[in-house]
Amino acid sequence: MPITKDSHLIMRDIRKSKGISQKFVSEKLGYKSSAAYANIEYGNTKLTLETAAKVANILGCSVEDFLQIKVKQKV
């Protein structure tokens, strides 16, 4: 399931702001090369919800951050 059009750019910005390399994320995802992950950030490979969830976990954020939506919490 692909997610929003610019999510890969937001994901890249979050990764960079945390000082995390593409190579590090690639290794954590189990990719053989950082090019596979780079293709997601460049928009050449569709970002799936499954991959977004894994990357969010690696970056210490939530998938909602990539979507730039606010989730309402029940009080």
- pLDDT the model gives residue 4: 60
25 located within any domain: yes
Is residue 16 a part of any domain in this protein? yes
Domain hosting residue 30, numbered range: 7-67
Please say whether the beta carbons of 10 and 18 come within 8 A.
no
Residue 38 has pLDDT above 80, yes or no: yes
pLDDT digits (tens, 9 = 90+) for 39-52: 999 999 988 989 99
Q: What is the pTM of this model?
A: 0.81
Classify residue 1: in a domain, yes or no.
no
How large is the average pLDDT for residues 40-67? 93
Q: Residue 11 burial by CB count (10 A; 0-12/13-18/19+): exposed, middle or buried?
A: buried
Check if the beta carbon of residue 22 is closer than 8 Å to that of residue 38: yes
Is position 2 within any domain? no
Alpha-carbon distance of 22 to 16, in angstroms, equals 9
Query: Measured between alpha carbons, how far is 4 from 47 in angstroms, rounded to an integer?
Result: 9
Which residues are CB-contacts of 67 (< 8 A; sequence separation ≥ 6)? 3, 4, 7, 10
Number of separate domains in the chain: 1
